[in-house]
Amino acid sequence: MPRREGIPELSSAGVSGSCLEQVFFNAILRKGCSKVERWQIEMIIPHRPPFLLVDKIIELVPGQKAVGLTMVSEDGCLLADCGGGKRAMPGTLVLEVMGQVGAVAVLSLPEHRGKITMLAGIDNARFYGNVPPCAELRVEAEITGLKMNIGRRRCRAKVGETVIAKADLLFVLVDGVGLQMSKKSGV
C-alpha cells in the first residue's frame, strides 16, 4: 500500500501499512462495515480520480458482496452523446463501476490485501437502459465463485428501481506490488 502523508507506519509484529489502514481493515474483520467512504475505498483498490468511479460503498460483506453508489453529474466527464442531444453514461463505464464495486468486495479480505483484480472476461452482459445525467447509479456485486486466484462476480446496476445493466465479470487476483497507483502522481 502506498504510504499516506502524516500517518505513521506500524512496525510491531511485522505489520505493514499505516495505522489508519490497519484500524480500518481490523474493523472490517471484527464486525464488518456497512458503509465505506471514498477515502477508504482508495485503501482497498488502486484506482484514483478520475478513474475511481465509485463514490461510496453502502453495504459490504467482505469476500461475498458489496453495494456501491456513483453519482453521475450533469457536467461530468462520465457522459457521452447518445444522439438527439441526449447524454448518458456509456455502458463500458457502467461495467467499470461493476468491476470496481466487485473489487472492493474481494479485496477487503485480509488475505487479498495488497493484491488487485484484473478483468478476465465478461459473460451474460445485458444493457436495458441509460444512466442519465444527475442520476445515482447503484451497483450490486456478489462474488459467486473464487478458486485460487480466479473468480466470478454477478453484478447488477440500477437507477432507482430500474435495472440498467447486468453482467457476470470474471477476474484474476494478482500481486499488486509495483502496480499500486500513487495519489501524489495522480495516475
Exposure letters 74-111 (e unless 16+ CB within 10 A, then b): eeeebbeeeeeeebbbebebbbbbbbbbbbbbbbbbee
Which residues neighbour 59 within 8 Å (Cβ) at sequence distance 6 or greater?
34, 35, 65, 66, 67
DSSP assignment, residue 76? S
The confidence score (pLDDT) of residue 48 equals 86
Listed in sequence order, the residues at least 6 apart from 45 whose beta carbon sits closer than 8 Å to its beta carbon are 52, 100, 103, 104, 107, 116
Q: Does 112 fall in a domain? A: yes
Segments in 32-187 forming alpha helices (H)? 38-44, 91-107
In a domain, 184, yes or no: no
Is 25 domain-assigned?
no
* pLDDT on residue 3: 38
In a domain, 5, yes or no: no
**Tally of structural domains, the chain:** 1
Provide the domain limits for residue 97: 33-175
- pLDDT confidence of residue 26: 57
According to the model, what pLDDT value does residue 73 have? 82
The answer to whether the bond into 8 is cis (omega within 30° of 0) is no
> Has residue 182 been placed in a domain?
no
86 assigned to some structural domain? yes
Over the stretch 31-52, which tens digit does the pLDDT of each residue have?
556 788 989 999 898 888 888 9
Listed as ranges, residues in the chain with pLDDT below 50 are 1-16, 180-187
Mean pLDDT taken over the chain: 81
Domain-embedded: residue 124 = yes
Residue 167 C-alpha cell reads as: 453482467
Query: Pairing between strand 80-83 and 86-88?
Result: antiparallel
185 within some domain: no
Element (H, E) at 28: helix 19-31
Q: What is the pLDDT of residue 107?
A: 94
CATH number of the domain to which 109 belongs: 3.10.129.10
